């Protein structure tokens, strides 16, 4: 991998990680369209450390509060002290852990599929379209609720204070779908949140918080593969740094965007891109396994 490829892939990772359009799919597609080697699942996981570092900084106050409260709840639990019972921030910490279980279990179980068959461009095109339609449906239901036609119209939608074990596990299962390139971690979890009646801001915020342990664990787990094949250590680190810088700017923009705007532009983009991939593969312009053998 050249330094130019590293820069472009880091840029793509930073731009797409937090948008509901799938960063892993775009890294795969960028390489395929440019005629480069597939950067691979390990490269994707490691560069996501950069974007998650951006999350840690952007939500540093929220995360510090949650971690502090969770640690105090553990101490209280050991001492059989009920003083932390009902503390919202401590509960949120436990729910992030519970919600991370599905992707952890499936990530280890389906590791070979993630690094192989799941990177087929036809599967990526399918997930782009299907999950795009799911996001569109969730967005329309959320819009109806906001204008007074939904089941949560009385209170304007559920917030993170309404989050319980059931919803936390559903969020976690939605996040686990993102193991398939094209699904989108943020797209799946935000869609799940909107379908459960959460506000756009609450669904997005919890989506970002829930991703932190899973993405960091995956990235550090894959560090042992850094430097293997055609992707050198230096280029991987450089791409990760680029992803961090761009990702931070995207988070700030996206959190402002969702407070007043619909997700429909992302829906149209996903569906159009999925259809384009199918057309190019069917026409023989693009191989569904482009770059895989070299990677």
Summarised one tens digit per residue, pLDDT across range 124-178 is 999 999 999 999 999 998 888 777 655 444 456 899 999 999 999 999 999 999 8
Least confident stretch, 63-72, 132-141, 197-206, 285-294: 285-294
Residue 295 pLDDT:
38
Most confident stretch, 150-159, 219-228, 235-244: 235-244
Check if the beta carbon of residue 33 is closer than 8 Å to that of residue 280: no
Q: And the tokens for 260? A: 């007043």
Q: What b/e string do you get for 262-291 counting C-beta neighbours within 10 Å, with b at 16 or more?
A: ebeebbeebbebbeebbebbeeeebebbbb
Check if the beta carbon of residue 21 is closer than 8 Å to that of residue 250: no
Check if the beta carbon of residue 74 is closer than 8 Å to that of residue 93: no
Chain-centre distance of CA 50, in angstroms? Answer: 13
Check if the beta carbon of residue 194 is closer than 8 Å to that of residue 183: no
Check if the beta carbon of residue 243 is closer than 8 Å to that of residue 51: yes
- Mean pLDDT score of the chain: 87
Q: pTM for the whole thing?
A: 0.85
Residue 293 pLDDT:
41
**Residue 36: pLDDT above 60?**
yes
CA R_g for the chain:
19
**Residue 224: pLDDT above 90?**
no
Question: Measured between alpha carbons, how far is residue 103 from residues 51, 96, 171, 178, 214 in Å?
Answer: 18, 12, 10, 8, 7
Most confident stretch, 21-25, 167-171, 212-216, 233-237: 167-171
């Amino acid at each position: 991998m050249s330094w130019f490829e590293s820069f472009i892939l880091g840029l793509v990772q930073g731009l797409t990680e937090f948008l509901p359009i799938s960063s892993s799919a775009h890294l795969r597609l960028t390489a395929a369209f440019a005629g480069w080697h597939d950067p691979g699942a390990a490269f994707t996981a490691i560069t996501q450390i950069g974007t998650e570092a951006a999350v840690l900084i952007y939500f540093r106050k929220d995360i510090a509060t949650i971690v502090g409260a969770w640690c105090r709840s553990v101490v209280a639990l050991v001492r059989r002290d009920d003083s932390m019972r009902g503390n919202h921030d401590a509960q949120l910490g436990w729910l992030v852990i519970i919600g991370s279980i599905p992707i952890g279990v499936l990530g280890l179980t389906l590791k070979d599929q993630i690094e192989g068959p799941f990177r087929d461009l036809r599967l990526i095109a399918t997930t782009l379209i299907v999950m795009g339609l799911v996001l569109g449906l969730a967005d329309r239901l959320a819009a109806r609720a906001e204008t007074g036609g939904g089941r949560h119209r009385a209170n304007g939608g559920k917030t993170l204070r309404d989050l319980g074990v059931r919803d936390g596990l559903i969020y976690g299962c939605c996040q686990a779908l993102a193991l398939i390139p094209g699904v989108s971690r943020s797209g799946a979890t935000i869609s799940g949140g909107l379908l459960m009646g959460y506000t756009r801001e609450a669904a997005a915020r919890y989506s970002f918080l829930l991703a932190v342990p899973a993405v960091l664990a995956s990235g550090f787990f894959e560090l042992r593969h850094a430097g293997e094949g055609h992707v050198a250590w230096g280029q991987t680190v450089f791409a990760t740094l680029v992803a961090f810088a761009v990702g931070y700017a995207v988070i700030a923009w996206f959190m402002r965007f969702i407070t007043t705007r619909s997700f429909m532009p992302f829906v149209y983009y996903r569906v159009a891109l999925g259809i384009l991939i199918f057309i190019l593969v069917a026409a023989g312009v693009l191989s569904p396994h482009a770059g895989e053998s070299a990677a």
